[in-house]
Amino acid sequence: MAYKNGELTEAEWEIIKAVWDNQPCAAPAVQEVLNKKTGWSYSTVKTLMDRMVKKGLLKQEKIRNLILYSASITKQHARKTEILRTIKRAFDGALTPMMQFMLENNLSKKQLAEVEKIIRKQKSTSSQVHKSQEKEKK
């Protein structure tokens, strides 16, 4: 079964983050990393990881009797999918109301300054790309 919908459960997020940080890794290593945070047993972690392989979230490689896991999806892809899912559910898919909500409710002055810097940089980059495309048309 291929990973289609892009939605990870809370448990899958915990597993995939541990795998990203330690890949390739065996299930006991992941369980050790997560034990303090989650209290999950080895069998719980192994079951979750095997389900994630079936969903296409993880890949496994067998070396004799050792199974090593690595991520099939990137952090960037997982984060993008999660953000888009949240925007769709909470803001009917509209980005502007989400940004307005974030700006009005959750940012410190320092964070707001960082966002302004990112926006200025993005505007500059977009402007340069647009000018380049216009030159190519001529």
Residue 80 is assigned to a structural domain of this protein: no
Residue 1 is assigned to a structural domain of this protein: no
Residue 83 is assigned to a structural domain of this protein: no
For the stretch 31-72, pLDDT in tens is 999 998 999 999 999 999 999 999 999 999 999 999 999 999
14 and 68 share one domain: yes
Kindly report the number of other CB atoms within 10 A of residue 57's CB atom.
21
pLDDT above 90 coverage of the chain, percent: 59
- Predicted confidence band at 2 (pLDDT cuts at 50, 70, 90)? very low
Residue 18 is assigned to a structural domain of this protein: yes
C-alpha–C-alpha distance, residues 101 and 24, integer Å: 39
> What is the SS3 assignment for 63?
strand
Please report, for residues 10, 76, 77, the alpha-carbon distance to residue 99 in angstroms, rounded to integers and kept in the order given: 24, 19, 20
Please report, for residues 103, 125, 127, the alpha-carbon distance to residue 19 in angstroms, rounded to integers and kept in the order given: 33, 34, 38
* Mean of the per-residue pLDDT values of the chain: 88
* Count of structural domains, the chain: 2
For the stretch 4-24, pLDDT in tens is 556 899 999 999 999 999 999
Residue 88 is assigned to a structural domain of this protein: no
Domain, as residue range, for 50: 10-73
Q: What is the CATH number of the domain that holds 46?
A: 1.10.10.10
pTM summary value? 0.75
14 and 57 share one domain: yes
